[in-house]
Structure 1
């Protein structure tokens, strides 16, 4: 399971993460993500992040993270911009689903 201190550091410093991630089907993929928030569900922890591979916002469960590496590279945005983009995206998703 991913170290929440490392995840928090990456979020605080706007650093990209390299993840080795296992999907719900067991497939392992490597992803470069721009973490935004560390959240908690009923039974799981997850990060909300921009995924470079999918070019979209995604949720990644920390219990499926096999390896994480905080990269030196930053997301290149002004402080708070990525979170604001995600908040707009989230509102658009809610509007589309009627919630």
Structure 2
């Protein structure tokens, strides 16, 4: 694997960011990937790996606890499976939603799931720590996930509030 110093630092920065902000599954995956990459780097790139010039920032913020493991959402996303969730918004108003999960977002203080919400008939983001329960519906949502995600990105480009707006549900 031939990586220059900048490429090595970009990979290390990304993997360290994931280690800090991911759940246990992603943190372990990042550590495994970093170890595999380290095994095949040339000596100059090894130095960039050991002493990077860029860092992901302080890890001390912490995330609110999730009741549903993030792996449940990842599996639904990968399988393009409809997911029934019990959710409470910022004012603790409970609702049940049937969503089409598209992606997980890792923000500095919260994690969100980007989804199409059947109740609202629109794209929504849901804070993962406010999902009380999640159940697979046993059916796939129509179309391709990549097309739905592209539609969400296009909408976010037009939205001045940015790509993630949890609790606007």
TM > 0.5: yes
Structure 1, unmatched stretches of 5+, are none
Confirm whether residue 35 of structure 1 aligns to residue 127 of structure 2. Answer: no
CA RMSD of aligned residues (A): 1.3
More strand by share: 1
TM-score under structure 1 length normalisation: 0.88
TM-score under structure 2 length normalisation: 0.53
SS in 2 for 1:80: helix
Contact 2:102 2:145 in 1 (8 A): no
Structure 2, unmatched stretches of 5+, are 1-66, 162-169
SS in 1 for 2:103: strand
**Within 5 A, what are the aligned runs for 1:45-64?**
45-64=111-130
Q: Which has the higher contact order (CA 8 A, sep 6+)?
A: 1
SS in 2 for 1:39: strand
Deviating above 3 A after TM superposition, structure 1's stretches of 4 or more consecutive aligned residues are: none
More helix by share: 2
Aligned residues: 95
TM-fit CA distance, 1:90: 1.3
